[in-house]
Amino acid sequence: MKTPTTSRAQSFVFKSFAYLALALTTAGLAVAQAPVADSPAVEAQAHAMLSKLTLAQKIELIGGVDDMFTHAAPTIGLPRLKMSDASVGVRTWGPTTAYAGGVALAATWDREFARSLGQSLGRDARARGVHFLLGPGVNIARSPVNGRNFEYLSEDPYLNGSLVVPWIEGVQSQGVSATVKHYAVNNQEYNRHNVDVTVDERTLREIYLPAFETAVTKGHVDAVMDSYNLINGSHATQNEFLNLKVLKGEWGFQGILMSDWDATYDGVAAANHGLDLEMPSPRFMNDKVLEPAVKSGAVKESTIDDKVLRILRVALRYGWLDHPQQDLTQSTYSAADRPVALQGARESLTLLKNDGGILPLNAGKVKTIAIIGPDAWPAITGGGGSSQAQAFEPISIVTGIANLAGPNVHVLYTRGLPDMGDLFGRTKWNGPIKVATYPSEDFSGTPATSDEPTISNYKNEWWGAPDKTPRSLRYTGKYKAATAGKYLVLAAASGSDHYVIRVDGRQVIEQTQVEGQHPESATIELSAGQTVKVEGDYLPGFVGNRFGLAIAAEDTLLSEDVKKFAAAADVAVVAVGFDASTESEGLDRTFTLPWGQDALIDAVAAANPHTVVTLTAGGPVDTHRWLDKVPALLDTWYPGQEGGTAIAEVLFGKHNPEGKLPVSFDRAWEDNPSFKDYYPIAGADTKLHVVEVGLPDRDDVIPHVTYNDKLMVGYRYWSTTGKHPLFPFGFGLSYTTFSFSKLEVPASAAAGSEVKVSFDITNTGKSEGAEVAQLYVSDPSAKAQRPERELKGFEKVRLAPGETKHVSLTLDARAFSYWDEAAHKWTIDPGKFTVLVGDSSENTPLHADLTIK
């Protein structure tokens, strides 16, 4: 008997229900469940759940609760969903494994490591019952001083997109949703809640949006986080162009669009313009705002339904309704993932200078090694803010080197510089400090006066007991120089405090950050016996006095052990750079090294010609004062908990350095193409009226930044202008050498077709190593102005001495396209293109032309 036939649609529905049931049953065993594809079964279940909710219940679901959760809906079986920050580790819920993430990941140029990292983070999340990892961050490193560059990736959209896809796939394969952030153009921390970025559409499409686009269209990320800032006049969380037209329209994003924490500013506008979930709580998208808006027609109930459906679909894709998210088969302290952390650290370390082949160190000849500097111990695994992860067992540079060197090598360690609080307290002022406290915020009125022996009230805290009493404080003192030379002027406060420092009436320091801040310093020249008048005008924020001010001769800053240890050692390692207090979310960092560190390097280099500098930073820094005095510079980024071990292995040749710069390394901040247009335009501020339920209306001041550098970001600027940075994008030294040969490019291709490119790479040295072959495309015949070259392909290759590998790369249509603003689409101008292959943006020995017809 012939069985009844079913239609293809019916068969698809039956199979979808079967697959969904199987996935949910398997999920009940708490094994990793990658998201299932959307299907009629998922859609039907989501709509059935939605139909059981009242309007008030639906509105409740689109606002967070308890800082890191969504609301549960017990009537439909929806649990509350747990989140965690995730730039270098699953950091919100206690100690964790801290990996080489962000810019360190980008320095690996390794797609497969990105996948392994994502899988490890996913397992760590499951061990803690986390549903959403709030990462990766893919914003472009437009400027070296952005405080969050360390947790983003690179200056190049292709490199960012190439690494973010396997990262997302790795995380989501473990049953955890990734959250790509911060959408969009969050390229500075200065006044991040209020700054309005003016940027043209072509620059958006070619530089700042592609990594997000790739995350959505190729990585299939299930959550996106909006940024704090405004873009072309509208906050990201209510930006119709970005959220509805581009993200949910052109890219077809089907997941959840959430706000950054307290990044929502208008409930109705956010609801109508694409925001699905307000975090950490519904200050604006709440029942008091949205229920009347729905009743009046200002917001359609179908708009609320779409947001809830997106949350439900994601929960159904991962099976979160049917099993506990915490997987007890995963370790909270994961020994299995320590090798992943070590791999990332090894691959990211980038050797920038190695004069005379001082590295690797000869273990047989090094009997004493001096390790000096504030970043030598304890271990610095990452920058500050919401990405700061507390590792279980972080390995510092001191312990890493000592462990590898063994008991027969003497290790001498000193921090070299005093604690900042001690410096404030020990400054020898010439008489008491006169303190005038004014009952206003502009130094007007009759002040209360007092005398203090020092200016040492500094506290490293963003928050504290509120004190909104209007006041401003003026500190006046005298300082007498004991000897001639360079003197450090150092000041610090916290939060939104503001201060200006003057020496003999000349301003030497001004603290301008709005949300958070780092210590500020200046160097002045004084002659022996010279007495100067020092004034500090201090405006506390909303808490008490947190101000400190010091002056000290540079040669007295350093501990007595610095020169003694350096001179006694066969080699000196100076560990300098930033940490969580000086490079962080909420504030921009300095381009110069933190206070005293230039002087520290000078002193060590003068005492020992075999000096190696290790640099901890999220990007380039000012090296002009000391780079020509030291033979070696190793950029360590923020290498995670295994950084000390990896650094020791590279210094002693146990691992061949293989990191490549993901950013151009500028000589000076002023050389960077964003320098003139980074901070807000003077006099261009506007006001934005904000209405928040339960609070008085307010007018927020909106500063404006215009991206006049347009497409000329990083190496695009340097290669187009013919100028040169200190170290180019893609650069990194190895203990071996490589050569490129036999480039094969077709003579012509049809517009829109794929182009196959191949070449050979050979290890011409004497040790095993890894090289990153980089492919750039140039369009000299374009009708529109384009950068001289753009990265469009790369491959990391590991080779034994003398080994050759044949590399094949495929270029798609986007590799040859630019955004045509008039036509509002990607365009290829037929004509001549040039393919260039090499090991950095400036060293491309292979090149060949092809014609796009």
Lowest mean pLDDT among 470-474, 479-483, 712-716: 470-474
Q: Which residues contact 623 (CB under 8 A, 6 or more apart)?
A: 633, 667, 726
What length does the chain have?
A: 853
Helix, strand, or coil (residue 719): helix
What pLDDT is stored for residue 698 in this prediction?
65
Q: Is 124 marked active-site? A: no
What pLDDT is stored for residue 512 in this prediction?
82
* Burial class for 305, CB neighbours closer than 10 Å (0-12, 13-18, 19+): middle
What pLDDT is stored for residue 680 in this prediction?
80
What is the rounded distance in angstroms from the CA atom of residue 717 to the CA atom of residue 710? Answer: 10
Q: Which residues contact 548 (CB under 8 A, 6 or more apart)?
A: 420, 421, 424, 455, 456, 457, 458, 490, 491, 492, 493
**530-570 confidence digits (pLDDT tens):** 999 999 999 998 777 889 999 999 989 999 999 999 999 99
Would you say 548 and 420 are in contact if contact means Cβ atoms under 8 Å apart?
A: yes
What pLDDT is stored for residue 544 in this prediction?
74
Average pLDDT over residues 738-758: 97
What pLDDT is stored for residue 23 in this prediction?
43
**751-796 confidence digits (pLDDT tens):** 999 999 999 999 999 999 999 999 999 999 999 999 999 999 999 9
Q: Please tell me whether the overall predicted TM-score, pTM, comes out greater than 0.85 for this model.
A: yes
The CA distances from residue 333 to 48, 105, 386, in Å, are 40, 22, 21
**280-325 confidence digits (pLDDT tens):** 999 999 999 999 999 999 999 999 999 999 999 999 999 999 999 9
Give the Cβ contact number of residue 692 at 10 Å: 15
Average pLDDT over residues 127-151: 97
Mean pLDDT of the chain: 93
What is the rounded distance in angstroms from the CA atom of residue 429 to the CA atom of residue 552? Answer: 10
Query: Is the confidence at residue 14, as pLDDT, over 50?
Result: no
Query: One of 226, 260, 327, 537 is an active-site residue; which one?
Result: 260
User: CA quadruple 137, 139, 142, 148: dihedral positive or negative?
Assistant: negative
Would you say 760 and 807 are in contact if contact means Cβ atoms under 8 Å apart?
A: yes
The CA distances from residue 753 to 507, 748, 815, 852, in Å, are 60, 10, 11, 9
Q: Which residues contact 822 (CB under 8 A, 6 or more apart)?
A: none
* Burial class for 536, CB neighbours closer than 10 Å (0-12, 13-18, 19+): buried
**479-509 confidence digits (pLDDT tens):** 999 999 999 999 999 888 999 999 999 999 9
Higher pLDDT, 205 or 16: 205
What is the rounded distance in angstroms from the CA atom of residue 701 to the CA atom of residue 690? Answer: 11
Average pLDDT over residues 579-602: 95
What pLDDT is stored for residue 545 in this prediction?
84
The CA distances from residue 841 to 164, 617, 662, 709, in Å, are 21, 21, 11, 19
Q: Which residues contact 771 (CB under 8 A, 6 or more apart)?
A: 658, 734, 738, 761, 763, 796, 797, 799, 839
Categorize the per-residue pLDDT at 692 as very low, low, confident or very high, splitting at 50, 70 and 90: low
Higher pLDDT, 254 or 681: 254
Rounded percentage of the chain residues whose pLDDT exceeds 90: 88
Average pLDDT over residues 668-696: 78
Q: Which residue has the tokens 């609320």?
A: 304
Lowest mean pLDDT among 205-219, 473-487, 667-681: 667-681
Query: Is the confidence at residue 21, as pLDDT, over 90?
Result: no
DSSP string across 158-211: HHHHHHHHHHHHHHHTTT-EEEEEEETT----TTTTT-EEE--HHHIIIIISHH
Give the DSSP letter of residue 757. E
What is the rounded distance in angstroms from the CA atom of residue 664 to the CA atom of residue 619? Answer: 8
Average pLDDT over residues 470-474: 93
Give the Cβ contact number of residue 765 at 10 Å: 17
Report which listed range, 30-34, 190-194, 599-603, is most confident: 599-603
Amino acid at 413: Y
What pLDDT is stored for residue 5 in this prediction?
34
**418-446 confidence digits (pLDDT tens):** 999 999 999 999 999 999 999 999 999 99
